[in-house]
Structure 1
Amino acid sequence: MDNTKVTVVGLGPMGRAMAAAYLDAGYEVTVWNRSAGKDTDLVARGARSAPGIAEAVAASPLVVLSLIDVEAMYGTLGDADLTGRVLANLSSDLPDKARAAARWAEERGAAYLTGGVNVPPAGIGREGSSIFISGPREAYEEHRAALDLLAATDYRGCDPGHAQLYYQLNMILFWTAYTGWYQAVAVARANGLTASDILPYAGYTADTLRGFYTESAALVDAGDHSGEDQRLTMCAASVEHILHTAADSGVDTAILAAHAELYRRGVEAGFGDESSSRLIQLLAAEEA
């Protein structure tokens, strides 16, 4: 089997970046997209544009999918013969949907790998980029070199849902932090400052988060919620201060109000003298 052949299905910004990375590495690349016109630059560089999805799938042992979500795969692949193919679906979606998709692919004779891409299109093929992968180990090892060309693969086991689980956990961290940046910029601008004015301090705060994660992880896993350094009452007071600063600035407070309510609930539940990590218990509805 020629593992230097690859098909890329879905030519949005991410799919085009992936196909380009394979062309850069000398692979024989077949591309297909539901709407026409997105493969022009790739074809000019040597990619083959398949006339239909059946031909695209038949062209390569590895079919890389870059779609809006897992659900889009069903309509995209349609009745194409998947026998003997390895589908690497690098589309974001829910862990359980990835598991269902794996069963669907296996019923049609294909091996199914799930991927969560941890970089934007500009990061594809660059050092330091990574992709969570899960699914059959044999299929992963067979095509690991091709997947590593896109970004360093972090194999998370045979459960096809695990790559999506790890990816979505990362996205929880990313989107809450990035939305916090937008909130801070809105308050800054309401007070005559620019995003550039606060950028150095935002960068410092982002850098310090790693230390907070590292320090708290072992304590949380050990069930240690002692509040010597960050008592919940102190944290709740700080969250109230940012809520009212935003309100006084005339900025939307919906996001901050939700945070403040969570911290109030923690204090009301009797956790005021403990660490703010007790909030995990409220979020997870765990018993004390």
Structure 2
Amino acid sequence: MTENAVDTAPKTPVTLLGLGAMGAALADAWLAAGHPLTVWNRTAARAEPFADRGAAVAGTAAGAVAANRLVVVCLLDDASVEEALAGADLTGRDVVNLVTGTPGQARARAAWAAERGARYLDGGIMAVPPMIGIPAAGPYVFYSGSSELFEEHRATLAVPAGTSWVGEDPGFAALHDVALLSAMYGMFAGVAHAFALARSASVAPGSLAPALTSWLTAMTRSVATTAEQLEAGDYTVGVVSNLAMQTAGVPTFLRTAEEQGVSPELLTPYFGLMERRLGEDGRNGAEDLTGVIDLLRQ
């Protein structure tokens, strides 16, 4: 295609259920790319702006499902998916569920869809609404389930955000989603503690932020090392700061928090795991922190 050529290839019609903040962003992206779009939302007024831009508005979820083969669901939770699709005929439909849920819910929903004659793909959105439709912002979605469905609709699904298929198991997208978000919240906990310490001494947050950002970025290199140690089954390979040394430093962190009048409650659970892994006799002292992971498995 030449630089000035117009893309006249037919665009896959899409049905979108749910026009909350994320659903609205998805709708914007598909409409901007020229995809015929049918929308449904429990609060009908939210659909009006999209009708003005050419989207078809269905009065019921079942009616929206009947309009197109590709049905994307972006509702509040798994229960709302059950309720919205209860009266819909899913025979021959390709259902892409972007509702945040658990791996177990995704697997159950995939079986539920198959019983009703539909192919199923689960998705975990790694973006916030303002990132959708802006490739430079780096949005993407984990997908798992039917590989045939994913390959057939990959180009359409890639319009609002990049795509990353992580396996046939329908629960894998949710698993990846929650794993990454869990790491994020762990980071947020550390950041919160760091700012609390700084503010207790009247250190300006803006002066700490650059150093904190740089340090956390540098520490992300340890993620690859942890993965290598887990795959090798040897937690002593490539160790820079071993468990014994890091555990010995715990009292300093706790004493500093006490001196500054800051609760250590965001840190103490992890420190407790470090001490358990070390063992009373220090037998695991040469390891990296990777062994803590084994303590979390129930």
* Aligned match for 1:248, one of 227, 238, 259: 259
The Cα RMSD (Å) is 1.9
| SS at 2:176 equivalent | helix
After TM superposition, give the deviation of residue 114 of structure 1 in Å: 0.3
Contact (CA 8 Å) 1:3, 1:62: kept in 2 or not? no
- Counterpart of 2:124 in structure 1 is 116
- Counterpart of 1:284 in structure 2 is 297
Contact (CA 8 Å) 1:98, 1:114: kept in 2 or not? yes
Q: Percent identity?
A: 38
Deviations along 1:107-135, one digit per CA (max 9) or x if unpaired, are: 11111100011111122122232211111
- Counterpart of 1:47 in structure 2 is 55
Q: How many residues align?
A: 284
Which stretch has the larger CA shift, 211-220 or 134-143?
A: 211-220
Indicate how the Cα distance of structure 1 residues 49 and 194 shifts in structure 2: closer, same or farther if over 3 A, else same: farther
After TM superposition, give the deviation of residue 9 of structure 1 in Å: 1.0
- Counterpart of 1:261 in structure 2 is 272
Which stretch has the larger CA shift, 28-37 or 147-156?
A: 28-37
Separation (CA, whole Å) in 2 of partners of 1:108 and 1:185 = 52
- Counterpart of 1:168 in structure 2 is 178
Contact (CA 8 Å) 2:90, 2:116: kept in 1 or not? yes
The one-letter amino acid of 2:296's match is L
Q: For structure 1, list consecutive stretches of 5 or more residues without a partner in the other structure.
A: none
Q: TM-score, normalised by structure 2?
A: 0.88
- Counterpart of 2:6 in structure 1 is none
- Counterpart of 1:192 in structure 2 is 202
| SS at 1:41 equivalent | helix
The one-letter amino acid of 1:242's match is F
After TM superposition, give the deviation of residue 87 of structure 1 in Å: 0.9
- Counterpart of 2:227 in structure 1 is 217
Contact (CA 8 Å) 1:10, 1:67: kept in 2 or not? yes
- Counterpart of 1:107 in structure 2 is 115
The one-letter amino acid of 2:120's match is Y
The one-letter amino acid of 2:162's match is A
Q: TM-score, normalised by structure 1?
A: 0.91
Q: For structure 2, list consecutive stretches of 5 or more residues without a partner in the other structure.
A: 1-9
Separation (CA, whole Å) in 1 of partners of 2:90 and 2:204 = 53
The one-letter amino acid of 1:259's match is Y
After TM superposition, give the deviation of residue 3 of structure 1 in Å: 5.5
Contact (CA 8 Å) 2:236, 2:287: kept in 1 or not? yes
After TM superposition, give the deviation of residue 181 of structure 1 in Å: 1.7
- Counterpart of 1:207 in structure 2 is 217
Indicate how the Cα distance of structure 1 residues 66 and 272 shifts in structure 2: closer, same or farther if over 3 A, else same: same
The one-letter amino acid of 1:278's match is G
Deviating above 4 A after TM superposition, structure 1's stretches of 4 or more consecutive aligned residues are: none
* Aligned match for 2:72, one of 64, 69, 75: 64
